[in-house]
Amino acid sequence: MRKYVVFILLLAFFVFFQSTLFFEKINLRDVSPDFILIILSIAAFLLGPMPGQIMGFGVGLIVDILSGGLLGMSAFAYTIIGYGVGIVGDIVYGRNILISIILLFFVTIVKGVLLSMLAAMFLEPGYFAYFSQGRIFLEAVINCLLTPPLFFIIMRVKKMVTV
Amino acid sequence: MSQARTARNKSILVLIFLLFISFILMGVSQSRITIRFKSVAYGVVYPFQFVGVRSITLVKEFFSSIEKNKQLKQELVQVKKMLEQYEKSQYEYEEIKRENKRLRNLIGIQSDMEYETVIAEIVAKSPHNYYKTLIVNRGKNSGIEKWMPVVAYQNETRCVVGKVIDVQQFSARIQPLIDQSSYIGVMLMESRYSGILQGQSPISDNCLMQYVDRRAEISYGDLVITSGMGGVFPKGIIIGEIVSVSKKRYGVFQEAIVKPVVDYGRLEEVYIITKSTTENTGRLLEEE
């Protein structure tokens, strides 16, 4: 139970962190990392598909409410990601950093594809360009680079909590 | 084995249920009930966001303030010198202002910028990389209404930030001009040719100026200002400068890319012009 609380608190922290003005300054060529996605993926990878998808839906819905954008768009994408990564976590043996880095790369691309498709369906087709202009690939690389330190910290915290 | 299968089936059922709810929410996102729900939900989440963001910002500011203190002392000396110079020029400025007002009255022109403003602090931004909305700490209690224009002062220039799109009791959401669904009536400061400025975010932080008369000579660095058309923004506020022009071989119009003057990364305070949008304009904006 305590490990769920840790992940929920981490997700809440990063939702607020990504809402701060100085988060805007953490960018590479105007592309910022998605800490929420990283934490969610690590959570789903370690906890499985059920907690992964529920956390994904919850955090996605909060992000949608705070963003003032299309309600349900992030919830949809994060639910799929939470479930998918959870399934991979169930199949793959071992919990090493390398797997989570590779996973994060693909997960970011999947997020980009899903959000672009949903935005094109419900908003304007122009959002597809975020994907086609390569920004999502850059975001994937940034997320991959940030995964090892976060994974390491989370594993440490998880160990402390479960002992 | 069967237990694992049951768990998997259960998680698939939950997945379908959650995706269904998300899809329904997206489908009815533009309906009045959902917009109202979103607004109420945001009102509930806002206090948590406010406290959370403030706490993180305070920790960050504590460390940066130590370094800033040294800089401030040096700046204070410089500012004192500058202030002396400004005081001298202030008298001259007041004289020119009075003369300008008198001459405007003589030729019957009224100032477009005689609006009252409410200063607001930006407390949060959208956590989503796709949306660039900003949250300020002024709401209905400060007389803020939907569609009110928002400006800021950066590098001693008054520039457009965006417009208010949602108002709560103690907070309001601002749609920046770089947002893809933002449209503003603009004109070129020099040649006075008008056009419509559309945001390009999340693709780019620059904006696209459309429907500019083909005859207009646009060059790099030309300033773009609000045209006053559209009923939201008063005329003459600086928006940005031209960074590129695209003139197709055929067609009546040309397009240009505009780099906004406002730097959203450095924005801390904004001024909300407390000018109510005319009833007709408001209705049209609601229908968009």
DSSP for B162-211, written as a single string: EEEEEE-SS-EEEEETTBTT-EEEEEETTT--EEEEEE-BTT-SSEEEEE
Shortest Cα distance, chain A CAs vs residue B11, angstroms: 5
Contact (CB<8Å) A20/B264: no
The enclosing domain of B201 has a CATH number of 2.40.10.350
Contact (CB<8Å) A19/B131: no
Does B92 reside within a domain?
no
For chain A, 163 residues long, give each residue's pLDDT as a single digit of tens.
777 888 888 888 888 888 877 777 777 777 788 889 999 998 888 888 888 999 999 999 888 888 877 788 889 999 999 999 888 888 877 667 788 888 888 998 888 888 888 877 777 665 556 666 677 888 888 888 888 888 888 888 877 776 6
Nearest-angstrom CA–CA distance, A83 and A85: 6
Cβ-Cβ contacts under 8 Å, A32 against chain B: 129
At residue A83, the pLDDT reads: 92
Q: Which of A19, A34, A70 sits opposite B49 (nearest CB)?
A: A19
Q: Do B35 and B124 fall within a single domain?
A: no
Does B157 reside within a domain?
yes
Domains of chain A: 2-16+32-162 (1.10.1760)
Angle (CA) B45-B47-B49 rounded to 5° is 65
Which pair of tokens denotes residue A28? 């590479």
User: Shortest CA distance to B170 belongs to which of B149, B141, B135?
Assistant: B141
Does B79 reside within a domain?
no
Does B110 reside within a domain?
no
What is the chain A residue with the closest CA to B167? A68
Distance of CA B63 to the CA centre of its chain: 29
Task: Report the number of distinct structural domains present in chain B.
Answer: 2
Q: Which of A67, A79, A86 sits opposite B127 (nearest CB)?
A: A67
Shortest Cα distance, chain A CAs vs residue B72, angstroms: 20
At residue B276, the pLDDT reads: 62
Contact (CB<8Å) A50/B11: yes
Q: Do B38 and B133 fall within a single domain?
A: no
Cβ-Cβ contacts under 8 Å, A121 against chain B: 26
Shortest Cα distance, chain B CAs vs residue A25, angstroms: 6
Q: Do B38 and B122 fall within a single domain?
A: no
Check: CB of residue A80 under 8 Å from CB of residue B19.
yes
CB pairs A-B closer than 8 Å: 161
User: Shortest CA distance to A103 belongs to which of A59, A42, A43?
Assistant: A42
Cβ-Cβ contacts under 8 Å, A89 against chain B: none
Angle between helices A35-47 and A2-19 (to 10 degrees): 170
Q: Which of B202, B264, B268 sits opposite A130 (nearest CB)?
A: B202
Cβ-Cβ contacts under 8 Å, B203 against chain A: 126-127, 129-130, 133, 135
Q: Do B169 and B285 fall within a single domain?
A: yes
Q: Do B122 and B52 fall within a single domain?
A: no
Q: Calculate the alpha carbon distances from B79 to A24, B82, B93 in Å.
A: 29, 5, 19
Nearest-angstrom CA–CA distance, B22 and B28: 10
Contact (CB<8Å) B11/A16: no
Cβ-Cβ contacts under 8 Å, A86 against chain B: 11
Mean pLDDT by 10 residues, chain B (288 residues): 75 87 79 71 75 76 78 86 82 81 68 70 79 84 87 82 86 86 85 86 80 82 84 83 82 84 82 70 52
Does B81 reside within a domain?
no
**Amino acid, res. B170:** F
Q: Do B166 and B264 fall within a single domain?
A: yes
Does B262 reside within a domain?
yes
Q: Calculate the alpha carbon distances from B20 to A80, A119, A120, A122, B8 in Å.
A: 12, 17, 18, 15, 18
Residue B25 domain boundaries: 2-60
Nearest-angstrom CA–CA distance, B231 and B97: 27
Q: Do B135 and B51 fall within a single domain?
A: no
At residue A79, the pLDDT reads: 93
Q: Do B129 and B235 fall within a single domain?
A: yes
At residue B227, the pLDDT reads: 84
The complex's ipTM?
A: 0.81
DSSP assignments along A78-143, one per residue: HHHHHHHHHHHHHHS-S--HHHHHHHHHHHHHHHHHHHHHHHHHHS-GGGGHHHHTTHHHHHHHHH
Check: CB of residue A73 under 8 Å from CB of residue A115.
yes
Cβ-Cβ contacts under 8 Å, B135 against chain A: 19
In terms of DSSP H, where are the helices of chain B? 2-27, 32-107, 279-287
Does B104 reside within a domain?
no
Which pair of tokens denotes residue B10? 């259960």
Does B65 reside within a domain?
no
